[in-house]
Amino acid sequence: MRVVLAGGGTAGHVEPALALADALRRINPDTQVLCLGTERGLEQRLVPMRGYELALIPAVPLPRKLTPQLLSVPGRLANAISTAAKHLERIQADVLVGFGGYVATPGYLAARSRRIPIVVHEANPLPGLANRLGARLTPHVFTGHPHTEIRNGRYIGIPLRTRISTLDRLAAGDRARAKLGLRPDLPTLLIFGGSQGAQVINQTAFECAEDFHQAGIQVLHVVGPKNADGPEDRTRGGVPYVVVPYVDEMELAYAAADVAMCRSGALTCAELTAVGLPGAFVPLAIGNGEQRLNAEPIVQAGGGIMVANSELSPQWIREQLIPLLLDTDRLVAMSEAASRLGRRDADMALAREVIAVANGDRSGVDMPIDYSEEPGDAR
């Protein structure tokens, strides 16, 4: 089977696509996978690192409003569609799976013009423009959020890497803390802001470093690759505060932590609930509030707390986050609540659907799961 994946730009598009690719290869190691991407997205690094072929097409951002840029869209889009179509023809694709982003629209339209079956996966509660278009071209539409409103949508969850979806935090905790330079006996806060870091979160956390030390709370702070040249040890009084640009094995960071203070992108929320890690969510205030919508069900179920980006402050950390980290019973309850919302098998579920569509059969089949070793991911 020959599969083309169209999902570039952010980790929220690229990582689920790669998790699906891994699942397809576990089912049938002979599956040929081609990923469409652009020169500006994270796929430039992530796709080759995971061992998959990357084919570049021109990026065509679609303006949300009537602007002079709109006049240039038809010509640039036609070029991108033509380029995508050549890649589809080159590998004789059996199916195209789109995850949104700049590459999805040309991919959908190229597949439609070549009568290649289309599968759409929308991770967010509010669908993007590309996937809203894709959902009009196929009945095979799946969502990562149970309340996403999109044509033909059916909830399936977000495909996750097996190192995340199979993680046993309790069993791996001590080993993870030792590897990351943390103590086994202290409450642990993981701080990260997505693949590039988050300046507001970083700065506020640094301002509270002394508060964490005084409370006996150790910190693993992933500041983002653009915000540090290398690891930095800010340990004081025997309480670790470890600063790193990124973490290659994010599952170790999850295993080491008791709480994660982070943004609330769809992928982050899916990973935290899958592993049962409580979140202190700081939604990025963009678009129509998608990140807030991602976190709300988790908070309402008792699996996390949330603060607006504009309201994140040292006072909030002192009054809300630090007391949470010191309350073992509450942490256990929140972990259980988060776990109840998580879905660990979305990669295999979506893979079965893709295979069924490629074969012209929506019924799917009962296929064995063979979890194999994978390289680490950068975060």
Q: Is 291 annotated as a binding residue?
A: yes
Q: Is 227 annotated as a binding residue?
A: no
Q: Is 100 annotated as a binding residue?
A: no
Tokens coding 141: 């539409």
Q: How far apart are CA 199 and CA 61, in angstroms?
A: 25
Beta strands 241-244; 232-233: pairing state? antiparallel
Q: Is 161 annotated as a binding residue?
A: yes
Q: Is 85 annotated as a binding residue?
A: no
Q: Is 344 annotated as a binding residue?
A: no
Q: How far apart are CA 121 and CA 310, in angstroms?
A: 31
- Residue 77 near residue 106 (C-beta atoms within 8 A): yes
Contacts 24+ apart (CB under 8 A), 201-209: 201/261, 201/262, 201/263, 201/282, 201/312, 202/227, 204/312, 204/313, 204/314, 204/317, 205/261, 205/317, 207/314, 208/314, 208/317, 208/318, 209/234, 209/236, 209/241
Q: How far apart are CA 296 and CA 223, in angstroms?
A: 25
Tokens coding 105: 């629209």
Measured distance between the N- and C-terminal CA atoms of the chain, rounded to whole angstroms: 31
The one-letter amino acid code at 285 reads A
Q: Is 195 annotated as a binding residue?
A: yes
Q: How far apart are CA 371 and CA 362, in angstroms?
A: 24
Positions at the binding site for UDP-N-acetyl-alpha-D-glucosamine: 10-12, 124, 161, 195, 291
* Residue ranges at the known binding site: 10-12, 124, 161, 195, 291
